[in-house]
Amino acid sequence: MSNFPPTRLTPPATDPHLGAAAGLPAYAELFCLSNFSFLQGASHAEELVDRAVQLGYTALALADECSLAGVVRAHAEAKRAQLPFIVGAHFHLQHPDGSRALSLLLLAQNRNGYGNLAEMITLGRTRSEKGSYLLHPSDFDAPEGDLEHLRGMP
């Protein structure tokens, strides 16, 4: 345990015309993980929003891995702080042979996009054992069956 006193964070001076710390250009974090991304994100969703406000961010996107678990808390805190909030999720896609294909970050543009994210998460989770997911590039490129409406997903 450290003998040093805890560091106190103070918000930077902000310029209302920049929407960020004075002298810096406006910035929005578009790929942020909360502690709902197990073993990847460390901070609570509310803490991420509070820190974004302290740093003068113009918006924050929370994109946990194949999950929307942190968005309710983050959205409530962002609304309280009047910080524009973007719902997202990220995925590690696999080829049918099991090899890793790519990582994909999706940000919802509207309520329909939020629903689309939820459907893709459900698809990935129902294909795999509890605690994991399985999505292929073709799920996004050419969705089939009940997910056909996701072609050109916003």
> What CATH number does the domain containing 132 carry?
3.20.20.140
CA gap 139, 146 in Å, rounded: 12
Structural domain includes residue 18:
no
**Domains contained in the chain, number:** 1
Within-domain flag for 100:
yes
Write out the residue range of the structural domain in which residue 112 sits: 26-150
Whether residue 19 is contained in a domain is answered as no
Residue 64 covered by a domain: yes
15 assigned to some structural domain? no
Please report whether residue 72 resides in a domain: yes
Residues 142/151, Cβ–Cβ less than 8 Å = yes
- In tens, the pLDDT along 82-112 reads 999 999 999 999 999 999 999 999 999 999 8
Classify residue 85: in a domain, yes or no: yes
Instruction: State yes or no: pLDDT of 14 exceeds 60.
Output: no
Task: Report the mean per-residue pLDDT for the chain.
Answer: 82
The encoded tokens of residue 135 equal: 């999505």
Asked if residue 7 belongs to a domain, the reply is no
